[in-house]
Amino acid sequence: MNAVEAPAHTYGGRLSPMAVRRLIGVWLLVLLVDVVAVIVMTHLTFDDGLDRVFSGDAARFNEYQSAADTFIQRENDVVVVFEANDLADDGLLEAIRDFALEAQFLDDVVAISSIFALQRWDGDDPGTLIPAELPEASDLRQLLSDLRVTTGGPGHLISEDHKATAVVLSYPSAPFDSAVAAARIKAATDLAAEAVGAQSIKTALTGAPLLRIETINGLFDDLLRLNLIGIAVGFIVCAVALRSAALAALTTMPASTALMWVMGSFPALGQAINMVTVAVPVLILVLSFADGLHLTFETRRLVREGYAVPQAVFQALRRVGPACVLASVTTAAAFLALSFSDSDLVASLGHAGILASLVGLVAVLITHPMLFLSADRLGLLEPIFARSGDVPAIESCNVFWRWGLRRHRVVVVGSIVLLAVAGFGYATVTPQYTLLENVDRQSSPAQTLETLNDSLLPVWSIDVPVPLGGAVISPGDVALMERIAAVLGAVAMGGIVVSPLDLAKAGDADRAMTARRLDRALSGMPESQRGRFLSRDGRTAMMRLHVPDRGASENRRLTLALEAALADDPQIAEAGADRATGLLVMAGFMSERILRQLNICFLIAVGLSGALVALWFRSVSFGLIALVPNVLPIALIGGALSLTGVGLHVASAVSLTIAFGLAVDDTVHVLNRLKLETVPGKRFELAAIETSLRKVTPVLVITTAVLAAGLLGSFMSDVPSVRFFGFLAIAAFCLAIVADVVVLPAWLRACGERFGSGALRLKR
Amino acid sequence: MKRALNILLLTLATLAAGGGLAAAQSGLAGLDGSWTGRGTVRATPTASAAKAYCKVALSETAPGRSWSIDGRCADTRRSATLGVTIRQTGPRLSAHLSTSAIGERVAFSGEGNASAMTLASTAPVTIDGRRYRSNLSIRRVGTERFSLVVGMADGSGGNTRVADLVFERTR
């Protein structure tokens, strides 16, 4: 052990008057920052980040943007679904029609789609299929059944069994604003309730705005829940591990301060809480808990060895502090790697994470010594230390590293094989994404979406822009759209084709009449409605295949199959109508691209962490060895995701990269302890490895327990991606501790033997 | 359907003109405020009837001389904005309608008394190449309700009811 001298600012084992004044100054500074953080925290903003998940210079994204600029988009549509035992029963449909009429007077509504707007043509005259005076129930049932047959895709606005119908409220294309959307949804909900009155009709709303608000509300709840549970669980684990509630409280306070400062820094730097950044505060909380625990354990150990408390506090800071700094820097490096992503959302997580890691570190390194010195000044700390104890069960964890050291060759070879196999699995994992991955599937909007998918017209669609021959729709254009509709219907069994042709069903009439009707129908529409079928310049029509979102890989497969079938038709190919786009298509392909990028981000994180460790300890061998026990857990989880067919989602890829950055922390503390136990310039002896592991393993087990347990709150999240994020992070932490106490010791010993006495030697 | 709206809006404009005349005879007394209309309209005099719904606000912009009506009307497919100004010059009333549905101004005139009135467009209305004379009757029931019936006559003697609406004061 290195000799320890009393710091200059202590006096006879107590703080000097100057140090006390400084301590008071630090308190005032910390309290000031706390107040500012709390004030700024009230300005936290929440968004689901959907607008920023996908971006980048890729053909699929550019095509999506081009279509979004050319056509009126449907992303703000709200769908109201009415359900009853039989909508043909007396008065029910009348109430729903009243809603469809009155809904046009709701603020911002620009168009309404419903079965009441479905047209029939009498020559060139359009009329509504459902008459003003509704027929008797039996005739009405027949009429409703005919709608699905005679009107094509839009006829699916009523279910085959007449138990459900949908009314689509369209709003202007504009960037999503949750407050505006919430007001629109409330108005529509109130009007629907008023329209159905006491009738036995169930109403429910869905659509992208509701799903996004659902996500945002979930994020707000999650932020509170994750962090409150994180603090509570962290405190309990500390209290159990330290066998002292008071010591646990002293360790919890720096972590809570770090959390407060991090959350205060978000609005100060314009960072919103979204579906990926929501986990950052709790990650920093648990990381700060871990840092605080290392400092607490070291301080208590030094006090037990006979140091005065002030000396022990400063000495602990000097000995463990650098490891805490390196741990935070490696975590920040993992976040830095994410900032290289094309996805604005992922990059914003990277930026937020870097900031949070560093802010959290500063908070812990300032407040931990401050609290312990203050408690000692008040005469509280020595009795607290005296009453605290160790948990014998944790000591039994030493069996793992002993086994790892004893069987080091087997463990090293085994870890290499495992790494290769799991790494291969990870490399072949299928990228996955669904537009619903941030929405609770049991929520009303998600359930209503399922009703639409199962019985009515699915909200999502694969879109095919169709270049037209001229400014006026010609019989040739009609023929082309008919061919495309046939291809879409044939390839996507179960998909529902919605096209401009639905506006001008000519029955057995000729295409010239259809073209004439179509021109008339479109010209009679307001721009907000016409722009959904026809581009702003009138040169391109949009045909849509409405399908449920079955996940990115299935959507990619269907898109490619559609495009191949369209390209097989010479007339379609010649017209340039063989390329699909839309949100489903773009998200399907861009999620694949972004997930591939995230894998590169992970490799960057690995490289950065290894380089940082090597630089810090001035040993390339350390840098390389540090990677093995940390890459292995991530590779194992990635392999499991591949093997089970779950695939890799944005949340899981991000979670694994961050978990890697956090897991490196344990390795850093092992190596730091080894450094402390070794005379610089000398080779590591087996005894030094054993001593280091004996001292550090219990702390690592406890900090891992804090890390894992602190994220348990994620299991209570309403947001599925947050639940999965937490699950994967916890799995990574648990595997990482096993790797740190089994694999790392084996590699340390094996490398020492393999490369000779100079291989694992720290420079002075 | 656009024509149904046109008819409806012409009807409303005529109503406004009638309201102006009635005002001269105290016909619009107490009718300032918001009104909600429900009923049916036809796309053309030969088309089938469709449900319609309106929300308008009536206000007197110069006492006894001019009025304005602003609002929207909708059928089950779309809605259109409506703006009508009414001016009184001596015993005659003139009204002008502008609406997002037809994109042109239409003139009306008419006469009546405090409880019932009839009005007509000052020029024939052309629908699908055919010219119609529009006629309208309004029957007022107190200050909380009035009914509105619009007919279209094509000169052959037939008169088709193309709008049949009941307005109530919006609660």
> What DSSP letter does each residue of A238-285 carry, written as one string?
HHHHHT-HHHHHHHHHHHHHHHHHHHHHHHHTTPPB-TTGGGHHHHHH
Task: Quote the minimal CA–CA distance from A131 to chain B in Å.
Answer: 6
Answer for the pair A638, A708: CB distance below 8 angstroms, yes or no.
no
pLDDT computed for residue B18 by the predictor:
45
| Res. A369: pLDDT tops 70 | yes
* Distance (Å, whole) CA A280 – CA A284: 6
More confident residue, A754 or A269: A269
The candidate with the shortest Cα–Cα distance to A209, out of A242, A244, A176, is A176
* Distance (Å, whole) CA A309 – CA A14: 8
| Res. B7: pLDDT tops 60 | no
- In this prediction, residues A153-182 reach a mean pLDDT of 88
The candidate with the shortest Cα–Cα distance to A545, out of A152, A182, A268, is A152
Answer for the pair A167, A117: CB distance below 8 angstroms, yes or no.
no
* Distance (Å, whole) CA A120 – CA A130: 9
Q: Which of A105, A111, A114 sits opposite B55 (nearest CB)?
A: A105
pLDDT computed for residue A123 by the predictor:
67
Answer for the pair B28, B34: CB distance below 8 angstroms, yes or no.
no
Whether residues A131 and B43 touch (CB distance < 8 A) is answered with no
The candidate with the shortest Cα–Cα distance to A437, out of A271, A713, A652, is A652
| Res. A507: pLDDT tops 60 | no
Residues of B in contact with A125 (CB under 8 A): 43-44, 46-47
Task: Quote the minimal CA–CA distance from B113 to chain A in Å.
Answer: 32
Residues of B in contact with A133 (CB under 8 A): 49
* Distance (Å, whole) CA A594 – CA A635: 19
Structure tokens at A331: 């975590």
**B90 backbone φψ class: left, alpha, beta (φ>0; ψ -120 to 50):** left
The candidate with the shortest Cα–Cα distance to A31, out of A43, A39, A42, is A39
Residues of B in contact with A126 (CB under 8 A): 1, 43
Interface test with A, best of B6, B51, B56, B128 (most A CBs within 10 A): B51
Structure tokens at A748: 């340390």
Interface test with A, best of B73, B77, B171 (most A CBs within 10 A): B77
Whether residues B72 and A105 touch (CB distance < 8 A) is answered with yes
- In this prediction, residues A274-297 reach a mean pLDDT of 87
pLDDT for A579-610, tens place per residue?
A: 999 988 998 888 888 888 888 888 888 888 88
- In this prediction, residues A193-217 reach a mean pLDDT of 89
| Relative orientation angle of helices A398-406 and A408-427, to the nearest 10 degrees | 100
pLDDT computed for residue A597 by the predictor:
83
Whether residues A116 and B2 touch (CB distance < 8 A) is answered with no
pLDDT for B75-131, tens place per residue?
A: 887 777 777 777 666 556 666 766 665 555 667 777 766 666 667 777 777 777 777
Any idea which of A183-197, A503-517, A719-733 has the lowest mean pLDDT? Answer: A503-517
pLDDT for A639-688, tens place per residue?
A: 999 889 888 888 788 888 888 877 788 888 888 888 888 776 666 778 88
- In this prediction, residues A21-25 reach a mean pLDDT of 88
- In this prediction, residues A423-439 reach a mean pLDDT of 84
**How do B159-169 and B33-42 pair as beta strands?**
antiparallel
Residue A304 CB: number of other CB atoms within 10 A? 12
Residues of B in contact with A116 (CB under 8 A): 51, 76-77
Instruction: Categorize the per-residue pLDDT at A373 as very low, low, confident or very high, splitting at 50, 70 and 90.
Output: very high
Instruction: Categorize the per-residue pLDDT at A758 as very low, low, confident or very high, splitting at 50, 70 and 90.
Output: very low
Whether residues A131 and B48 touch (CB distance < 8 A) is answered with yes
Interface test with B, best of A105, A121, A130 (most B CBs within 10 A): A105
| Res. B19: pLDDT tops 70 | no
Task: Please report, rounded to a whole number, the percentage of residues in chain A having pLDDT higher than 90.
Answer: 27
pLDDT computed for residue A81 by the predictor:
95
| Res. A394: pLDDT tops 80 | no
* Distance (Å, whole) CA A158 – CA A139: 16
| Res. B2: pLDDT tops 60 | no
Closest residue in B to A530 (Cα) is B78
- In this prediction, residues A605-630 reach a mean pLDDT of 85
pLDDT computed for residue A4 by the predictor:
45
pTM for the predicted model, two decimal places:
0.79
Task: Please report, rounded to a whole number, the percentage of residues in chain A having pLDDT higher than 70.
Answer: 94
* Distance (Å, whole) CA A223 – CA A272: 12
Task: Quote the minimal CA–CA distance from B94 to chain A in Å.
Answer: 29
| Res. A266: pLDDT tops 70 | yes
pLDDT for A463-504, tens place per residue?
A: 999 998 877 788 889 889 989 998 998 887 778 898 888 888
pLDDT computed for residue A543 by the predictor:
92
Whether residues A526 and B100 touch (CB distance < 8 A) is answered with yes
Residues of B in contact with A170 (CB under 8 A): none
Answer for the pair A4, A307: CB distance below 8 angstroms, yes or no.
yes
- What percent of chain B is helix, strand and coil (3-state, nearest 5)? 15, 60, 30
Residue A124 CB: number of other CB atoms within 10 A? 10
Task: Quote the minimal CA–CA distance from A186 to chain B in Å.
Answer: 20
Structure tokens at A338: 């994410």
Task: Quote the minimal CA–CA distance from A519 to chain B in Å.
Answer: 14
ipTM value of the model? 0.78
* pLDDT averaged over every residue in chain A: 85
Helix (H, G, I), strand (E, B) or coil at B3: helix
Residues of A in contact with B78 (CB under 8 A): 104, 111-112, 525-526, 529
| Res. A241: pLDDT tops 60 | yes
Residues of A in contact with B46 (CB under 8 A): 125
pLDDT for B23-71, tens place per residue?
A: 444 445 677 889 999 888 776 777 777 888 989 888 878 776 777 778 8
Instruction: Categorize the per-residue pLDDT at A1 as very low, low, confident or very high, splitting at 50, 70 and 90.
Output: very low
> Which residues in B61-76 are b (16+ Cβ under 10 Å) and which e?
eeeeebbebebbbbbb
Q: Which of A102, A132, A524 sits opposite B40 (nearest CB)?
A: A132
Whether residues A132 and B51 touch (CB distance < 8 A) is answered with yes
Q: Which of A112, A126, A133 sits opposite B43 (nearest CB)?
A: A126
Q: In one letter, which amino acid is B145?
A: R
